[in-house]
A and B are shown apart, each in its own frame.
Chain A
């Protein structure tokens, strides 16, 4: 799985692409942890843009859960957006879309992400 990062002032957008399965989960988790560890005061929010994500299993869901918790503890806003229908189904069935904020697209996620320290 490929992961791209894009920084917009105080928000970092993470773009996982392809399959977030058991084999890809550990690497993705390490990248997200590194991002959050280096956040300091320079970052107010993290958005995971899933427009390129084709597949997620429970191993992948676990990374989203850990990232959402770590963001909350660090005082950062955390949201995901642009889920493909099949991925959306997994988020909905697992109940994750009740505890993680999901936006239809990146523009909506950015509109709800604070542009200063929260």
Chain B
């Protein structure tokens, strides 16, 4: 099962993307336990493009696709903004004290922790981030 949608990189589109994901979840009858992982990945990576990958005066187009294959769900987020690999961000110090704690880089860190596999490539002038996690046991 596959679905695809496309939106401008604008924070107001986040709720539309979340709805797209939730509709896929219902249609594929996936277990609710893993919904948050994918909702979080969608928000963190999309908002990264909106806030850091959108040059002034030009909102890149963001393509989002979901593909379910043998119990594994892959979320692919692509944009035609400037080349940027979010996986190159330094991991935040998750042991820092309350006063020294920073949130920068935390979103991508959480995505890496929660997904089974995450990969980035720059292809044809586009950033492509692919995130996969098993969401149900493979069919016998």
Contact B113 A93, beta carbon cutoff 8 Å: yes
Residues of B within 8 A of A68 (CB): 98
Does B40 touch A at the CB level, under 8 Å?
Answer: yes
Contact, CB under 8 Å: A94 / B106: yes
Contacts of B137 in A (CB 8 A): none
- Chain B 26-39 against A: per-residue CB contact (8 Å), 1 yes, 0 no? 00000001011001
Separation in Å of the B91 CB from the closest CB of chain A?
Answer: 11
B47: chain A residues at CB < 8 Å are 22, 57, 59
A111 at the interface (CB under 8 A from B): no
B69 at the interface (CB under 8 A from A): no
Report how many residues on chain A are interfacial, defined by Cβ distance under 8 Å: 25
B106 contacts A61, CB within 8 Å? yes
Chain A binding site: helix, strand, loop or mixed by DSSP?
helix
Q: How far in angstroms is the closest Cβ of chain B from A60?
A: 10
- Complex CA distance for A61 and B43, rounded to whole angstroms: 13
Please give, as numbers and ranges, the residues of chain A lying within 8 Å of B96 by CB-CB distance: 95, 99
A32 within 8 A of B: no
Q: Is B94 an interface residue (CB 8 A)?
A: yes
Would you give the shortest CB distance from B96 to chain A, in whole angstroms?
Answer: 8
**A58 vs B104: C-alpha distance in the bound complex, in angstroms?**
9
- CB–CB B11/A90 < 8 A: no
Q: In the docked arrangement, what's the CA distance between A112 and B114, Å? A: 32
User: Which 9 A-B pairs have CB atoms at the shortest separation, nearest pair first?
Assistant: A95-B94, A58-B107, A86-B36, A99-B98, A62-B103, A58-B106, A57-B43, A93-B113, A22-B47
Where the two chains meet, the residues of B that have a C-beta atom closer than 8 Å to any C-beta of A are 11, 14-15, 18, 33, 35-36, 39-40, 43-44, 47, 94-99, 101, 103, 106-107, 109-110, 113-114
